[in-house]
Amino acid sequence: MTEAASPRRHEYVGFWKRVAASLIDTLILLIVIVPLLLAVYGTGYLARAQESGLAGFWDFVIQVVLPAVAVILFWKYRGATPGKDRRPALGRVAKLRLFAAVFIKHLLTPAASRRSANPSVLSIP
């Protein structure tokens, strides 16, 4: 008989790593959801959604059903959502994490510090 499998050890992470993982998951959802909503409803989407809360059937499907199905599928097939998955074989997710980190840093950096000291030089953030 083979040796009994050792009990699986769970390694718990701290609060800030969980926050970062949630931000990565949220960014991934935004990258998917915003273009879909703009494709379906056009640029008037925000005004329409503010009036009634939901802009229509597809708004509900894209913002509620799609993320729920995606999370369930990630849990089933990968064991975690991309932000929380720590397997090294996820090359695309690693690139997405890097993009998310740079994007978040860009959001948190004040716009004034990104501008050039010389106003004649065009500074693209």
The b/e string for 84-117 (b: 16+ C-beta within 10 A; e otherwise) is: bbeeeeeeebeebbeebeeeeeeeeeeeeeeeee
Residue ranges per structural domain of the chain: 15-97
pLDDT at 113: 53
Counting residues of the chain whose pLDDT is more than 90, the rounded percentage is: 7
Tokens of 47: 């005004």
pLDDT at 22: 87
Res. 124 pLDDT band, cuts 50 70 90: very low
Q: Please determine, for residue 108, whether its predicted confidence score (pLDDT) is greater than 50.
A: yes
Query: Residue 6 phi/psi, 5° resolution?
Result: -70, 145
Q: Which residues does 29 contact at the CB level (< 8 Å), separation at least 6?
A: 67, 70
Tokens of 69: 């199905």
Q: Please determine, for residue 76, whether its predicted confidence score (pLDDT) is greater than 70.
A: yes
* pLDDT average, residue stretch 88-104: 63
Tokens of 21: 């993982």
**Whether pTM exceeds 0.75:** no
Count, residues in the chain: 125
Q: Please determine, for residue 89, whether its predicted confidence score (pLDDT) is greater than 50.
A: no
Do the beta carbons of residue 63 and residue 37 sit within 8 Å? yes
Q: Please determine, for residue 12, whether its predicted confidence score (pLDDT) is greater than 60.
A: yes
pLDDT at 85: 73
pLDDT at 69: 93
* pLDDT average, residue stretch 3-27: 77
